[in-house]
Structure 1
Amino acid sequence: MAETVSSWFASLNSLYTPLSSHFDAAKSHKDSVEARLNYVIGVYRMFEIGSLRHGTGIWRHSDADYLASLKGGRPQSSTTMLNKVRDALIGRFLNTTISVRSPAVVCRFSDCEVEVVPGYVADTTNGPGYWIADPASTGGWMKTYPEAHNDFVNSVNKKVGGGAKTLARQLKVWKYERDVPVSSCYLEMRAAKYMEGQQSYVSIFDLYLSLSSIYSANLAAMNDPTGLGSRFTACSSDAAKTVALSKLSTAVSRSYRAFDHYQAGDHAKSIGQLKLLFNR
């Protein structure tokens, strides 16, 4: 039987959906990282955030992300906080490469990579909010509500039968396989916001329209859809944005051709364009 667009998407989604066991190594380091930060700096709690928490992680690309809620006063510069956390972890994990990649401190253990996003409590009236480093502003701060963001994605995902997370994963696969310098979090929130306005999910149709909408927005920073936190920034620099827009333009063209062939009933040509889009 000839492969269809639907079956091709199903295979793509299955291939890039990580198993829970893929992250056992990262989770095994969580307690020792938290203990070290609590000893040196003081930690209220450290909990999992990011794509794995949301169920939109990408096999071979997504790391285990944790937010560490730090005790003490927030310094004027977020760089001070990041360097302090980095130095604390270097003092404990002597044989591990540890570096700053704002807004996180990245620990490259021998068996996995763990990202620690340090922050300070910013708000409790609207649910837990935190000040974390702003990757688009050296030394700057941004406010984030990871649990509220998770709730938003989950609510939209439920409304469209799982389509919000499926679309977010596809956008991230494109990002990683085409080496696009754009924030994974930005793509996930764009996908959820786009699907919020849809009544159902149709993979090839919504892939094209979501890519088109992101391109039409010129990768502009987007408002937090929960109305609580800072705006989501797409790229870390103007140079990265230029590269990302160029690759996004190509992605829009390929997704349109894939959709056009699909409408004409030519699944083989449609899949050919999808393979180009995702570098498969």
Structure 2
Amino acid sequence: MATTINGGFTTLTSWLIPTTAQKDALSTHRNTVKAKLNSALAVTNFFGTGSSSNGTDVRSRSDVDFFAGIPSQNQRDSSDRMLVVVKEVLQQRFSSTNIFVRSPAVVCAFGTDASEKLEVVPAYYTGQSSDGFNIYKIPNGSGGWMRSSPKVHNSYVTEVNDDLSKKVKPLIRLMKAIKYYNNIPISSFYLELRVTKWISEDTSVHYAYDVHAMLKNLVDCELAQMVDPKGISGYVAAASTETYRQDALSKLTTARNRSAWARHYEGEDKIEKAFEYWDKVFNGGFPAYG
């Protein structure tokens, strides 16, 4: 519980950090997955990516992502085919586990909790960025390939986070919590880049103000695709289909309106009422007042 809006957000940001037990839960599966991919496809370069490697994952909600570097002799021209090959290899080892393709990854659902799902992205090394980070091609969802460099993007987010008193990654977690708690079909990668690029022009972070402002920004731009600020992935879409984009925009509009009321009541010093509306924004996940 908390008695100030700032206190409420501080408490919530601490709740969103995955526990050590959750982070360790997949360690055994990770090693087994890597060993199987190595024996079947000669994969030795197997490393963590995504929000879990960048400190922006949400407790019990974010999957754990890995890139599997596929050597040239085992690569397929079609990314759809490569995903099927990886799925078949892993299904041989984990015969009773629900394993399925969700491009750009093969998902291994070792449990019902999202943090118990390990996602394997087949990746082809293509070279290095100007600052020395590896660049890969990964499935683009339509049989082809797109460029990706997790370390370039992680470095970008970390740099902005460091410049703003390490409050950017918690802000990203807050925005992702709204996504997960309200079942909003928006890309986590898009959300991470959009928040980072937007906040990089500021000199400080205030969670209540910036969550509302970011929701407003997302609605105002109508979730338009954005240019990767690091020039690696080209255009980054907010959602995988137009239907999902429209659904996400509708739900984000509702969240924006509720956050506007929360800010209004805080301005009138009606703090308990402000807590009520922030709780609506986070669909029951905001700390209680008191």
Report the TM range for the smaller structure's normalisation: over 0.9
- CA distance 1:212–1:85, change in 2 (3 Å): same
The count of aligned residue pairs is: 278
Moved over 6 A (4+): none
In structure 1, the partner of 2:139 is 133
Structure 1 residue ranges without an equivalent (≥5): none
For 2:140 and 2:9, locate their aligned partners in 1 and report how far apart those are by CA, in whole Å. 34
In structure 1, the partner of 2:198 is 194
In structure 1, the partner of 2:71 is 71
Whether the 8 Å CA contact 1:144–1:230 is kept in 2: the answer is no
Report the Cα offset of residue 99 of structure 1. Answer: 0.4
For 1:69 and 1:229, locate their aligned partners in 2 and report how far apart those are by CA, in whole Å. 18
- CA distance 1:218–1:35, change in 2 (3 Å): same
For 2:239 and 2:233, locate their aligned partners in 1 and report how far apart those are by CA, in whole Å. 18
Whether the 8 Å CA contact 2:34–2:44 is kept in 1: the answer is no
In structure 1, the partner of 2:101 is 100
Q: Which has the higher contact order (CA 8 A, sep 6+)?
A: 2
Identity within the alignment, %: 35
Structure 2 residue ranges without an equivalent (≥5): 285-290
Tell me the amino acid that sits aligned with residue 158 of structure 1.
D
Which of 61-70 and 110-119 deviates more?
A: 110-119
In structure 1, the partner of 2:253 is 249
For 1:85 and 1:176, locate their aligned partners in 2 and report how far apart those are by CA, in whole Å. 28
Which of 275, 278, 283 does residue 279 from structure 1 map onto? Answer: 283
For 2:44 and 2:128, locate their aligned partners in 1 and report how far apart those are by CA, in whole Å. 14
Calculate the TM-score normalised by the size of structure 1.
0.94
Tell me the amino acid that sits aligned with residue 101 of structure 2.
V
Cα shift readout 1:95-137 (whole Å, capped 9, x = no counterpart): 11110011110011248221111110122243201111124xx
Whether the 8 Å CA contact 1:104–1:117 is kept in 2: the answer is yes
- What pairs with 1:229-268 in structure 2 (closer than 5 Å)? 229-268=233-272
Say which SS state the counterpart of residue 43 (structure 1) adopts: coil
- What pairs with 1:18-57 in structure 2 (closer than 5 Å)? 18-57=18-57
Which of 155, 158, 179 does residue 159 from structure 2 map onto? Answer: 155
Q: Pairwise CA RMSD of aligned residues?
A: 1.6
Cα shift readout 1:68-99 (whole Å, capped 9, x = no counterpart): 11112643321011111101111111111110
In structure 2, the partner of 1:124 is 128
- CA distance 1:47–1:4, change in 2 (3 Å): same
Report the Cα offset of residue 231 of structure 1. Answer: 2.4
Calculate the TM-score normalised by the size of structure 2.
0.91
Tell me the amino acid that sits aligned with residue 51 of structure 1.
S
- What pairs with 1:148-187 in structure 2 (closer than 5 Å)? 148-187=152-191
